[in-house]
Structure 1
Amino acid sequence: MSENTSWTSLLTADPRMALVPCAVELLAGGKPVPLPRLAAAAGWPTDEVETALRGIPRVDFDGAGNLIGLGLTLARTAHHVRVDGRELFTWCAMDAVGLPVMLGRAVIVESTCPATEAPILLNLSPAGLDSASPAETVVGEVAPTVGCTDIRTSVCDHGHFFAGPAAAERWRQQHPTGHVRPVVEAFEITRARLQQIGWVSGGAGS
């Protein structure tokens, strides 16, 4: 099974994942999302939305039970993104790379290389990478395994931006089945995945 096939199979086999595009669009507004609002956007009963989200490991909720994180999150992580001036975060590097495709809007990504502590700044649009600092920034990603039930722990926690291929070498050794790619390549792969499962905003490039 190819890497993209393993991703698309995982995301389409679990019906709960159908909530992700609606959740990301609403969370991009920068405020907690009441579950009835997500239910209305998704066309699901509210109780089914709550059951589905509670069954996904490590989804972010606030103290009032509102959704605050599902891929895109209001809770602080290593990957800071700005969408229409709003300060948000993503669970992993590839979530940040795919965000412009899902939203159809430009996104500024700020992260830190875990190997060198160098700051990383990306300007992404629905059409692709506009700029990267450092220019040689790469993305490390591990693919989900068959039967994976906790994407955040198994995949997202291991996904990072690195200041260049050399900075990612130790990560590559620790994740022999993982992939290290330039941001441009990571964007194209992510866009293809999202297009395949229909998670592409009408404003995103084809």
Structure 2
Amino acid sequence: MDNQNRVDKVIEGLKPCIPKLGKQSQRVAVGIYKGLAEGIFVNPKKLSQKMDLPPNLIEEILESFTGIYKDESKNIVGFWGLTVAMDTPHKFIVDGKEMNAWCAWDTLFLPEIIGKEARIESVCPISGKKIELTVSPEGIKSFSPQKTVLSFLIPDSLEENVINKFCHFIHFFSSEEAFEKWQINQPNTFSISLEEGFLIGKKKNSLKLGLVLDVDKGGTQ
């Protein structure tokens, strides 16, 4: 199976799990991502002011989102793949500010959403080797080791407990051999190349946030 067919097959499996958001919800989602990418929490009131949307509309949209985490003051500290309040094996560094991604795959699709290049530091859970990548909104610029692959899983649902149901199974591996050792105890997973992971993420972004991302890139609705 060639790369494009694999990408299309995975996307078909993911489609039922990707929430369908209206344009305003997509705007707010992208705004949250960009805010968290500054390395700090996102305050809903300031988000309302920045986006020129009524506070009650912002609150209504936030309540509709799954995959959102807030602190005791109701500031947003984590959102669908990106967190400023939790340590994970996947460091996500933008403009010198260090955050964490929920899983390895998140690091491949987040740069397109925030419109910035990111440096990623992770570790292979089997070999212990350091994994390093540089990912821009347009693609993967560099990575090491050169045999690095990504584990993947088609979940039944991502509506609740996405971290336990999905993220815990998505890692970088320093080689296919390392992945195969890990896969023995995770038979529902499979490996994909980093390029495939990026392309799947790009398609996921388009399905979930395309009304906003396409306009940001100069496209039309």
- TM-score normalised over the length of structure 1: 0.83
Distance of aligned partners of 1:112 and 1:163 in 2 relative to their CA distance in 1, 3 Å threshold: same
| Alignment root-mean-square deviation, CA | 2.8
Change (3 A) 1:188 1:50: closer
What SS is found at the alignment partner of 1:82? strand
State yes or no: 1:12 paired with 2:35: no
- CA deviations on 1:4-36 (whole Å, 9 max, x unpaired) are 133233223477x84533321111111111122
Taking a change above 3 Å as real, the CA distance of residues 148 and 3 of structure 1, as seen in their structure-2 partners, is: farther
The structure 1 residue matched to 2:60, chosen from 42, 48, 58, is: 48
With over 3 angstroms needed to count, the CA separation of the structure-2 counterparts of 1:51 and 1:12, relative to structure 1, is closer
Map of 2:83 onto structure 1: 73
Instruction: Find the partner of 1:187 among 198, 211, 215.
Output: 198
Larger Rg belongs to? 2
Task: Spell out the pairing of 1:25-64 with structure 2 (5 A cutoff).
Answer: 25-39=34-48, 41=51, 43=53, 45-53=57-65, 56=66, 59-64=68-73
Contact 1:113 1:120 in 2 (8 A): yes
Distance 1:52 1:42, change over 3 A: farther
Deviations 1:93-144 (A, max 9, x none): 1111111221221110000111111111001112211111111111112122
Aligned counterparts of 2:150 and 2:202: Cα–Cα separation in 1: 15
Structure 1: tracts of 5 or more residues without a match: none
Runs of 4+ in 1 over 6 A off after TM superposition: none
The equivalent of 1:144 in structure 2 is 155
Question: How far does residue 172 in structure 1 lie from its aligned partner after superposition?
Answer: 2.4
Q: What corresponds to 2:171 in structure 1? A: 160
The alignment-based identity, stated in percent, is 26
Question: Please, which runs of 5 or more residues in structure 2 have no aligned partner?
Answer: 1-7
Identify which of 86, 99, 102 aligns with 1:91. 102
